Structure 1
């Protein structure tokens, strides 16, 4: 396949149906039972941190970040879902979306990002595996897949406790 001309754009309400179809193709109906989905349930994402990726007019990727809180009052951003159309995977689209969302989160003053995902993939973006037992999520999570990245050095020092969906973001 020739080099892709990739365009990243802030997500708009007009993108929602296409993004939902993309999530359905990538994750299937089981996505609603996942712990990360349960954290996001009923919580509006940070609209300024949600982006889409297009090749021409075709939506091929999406990333969303939502507010969560760790322990007694530590704000954090939950990354996910990040979804790439299966026909466009392994082309750098996920990395481009990750960098854009993380840069924007840092620019807006966010200090921590967490996610449930594949450590070898996300380590290149600064994510590290959370020590088992340090965070408690509202459902099962493979401890090797619970990851945190500090957008500000030292932001995760001393942070522990239950993780809850945050307040509705504007």
Structure 2
């Protein structure tokens, strides 16, 4: 969706595709039923969040949330919080056990995210350890979890190429 990519570029800047989280999303589709957008009264996209399936180094699974982005023109209107609550509740309803993300700890703490459950986990590539956070949707879901996250879930379909006769 071109509108989502344009919003992500405005909200996150040009370096967004070099982040460790992007390595886990590249070539994958969001987890089934876990891609959300917010639109204004005119139907313009003003917010987005998606969750992605990942495999923990020790073999378990979790979701990776991100990016959460809100159009800078409407920041502080509660759109990000509403998208977060929706994403968490829907992930819980669909039976997922844990959500991981890399983000601002004070912002995500209000939703229950903490760095305490990610101490033995790692992202592929550079990241700031104190920003690697987790929320267990099922108590104990990350007990014993260790190692580097790996992408999993549905792959994107390769673009079809028309061949000239």
The TM-score with structure 1 as length reference comes to 0.86
Q: For residue 63 of structure 1, what is the aligned residue in structure 2? A: 49
Give the structure 2 partner of residue 83 of structure 1.
69
Runs of 4+ deviating beyond 6 Å: none
- Checking the alignment, whether the CA contact within 8 Å between 1:45 and 1:169 is kept in structure 2 is no
Q: Equivalences for 1:109-124 in 2 at 5 Å? A: 109-124=95-110
Q: Please state whether the residue corresponding to 2:45 is helix, strand or coil.
A: strand
- Residue 161 of structure 2 is matched in structure 1 by none
Structure 1: state its 5+ residue gaps: 1-15
- Are 1:51 and 2:36 counterparts? yes
5+ residue gaps in structure 2? 157-165
The offset of 1:136, in angstroms, is 2.1
- 1:74 paired with 2:65, answer no
* Residue number among 112, 116, 120 corresponding to 1:126 in the alignment: 112
State the match for 1:36 in structure 2.
Answer: 21
Aligned length: 155
1:28 Cα deviation (Å)? 2.1
Asked whether the equivalents of residues 11 and 71 of structure 2 are also in contact (C-alpha less than 8 Å), the reply is yes
The residue number in structure 1 matching 2:79 is 93
Q: CA deviation at 1:129?
A: 0.9
Tell me how far apart the structure 2 counterparts of residues 130 and 36 of structure 1 sit (CA, whole Å).
19
CA distance in 1, matches of 2:19, 2:98: 21
CA deviation vs aligned residue, 1:3-26 (integer Å, no higher than 9, x gap)? xxxxxxxxxxxxx11101101111
Cα 1:100–1:158, aligned 2, differ >3 Å: closer, same or farther?
A: same
CA distance in 2, matches of 1:77, 1:95: 18
Root-mean-square deviation over aligned CA pairs:
1.6
Report the TM-score when normalising by structure 2. 0.89
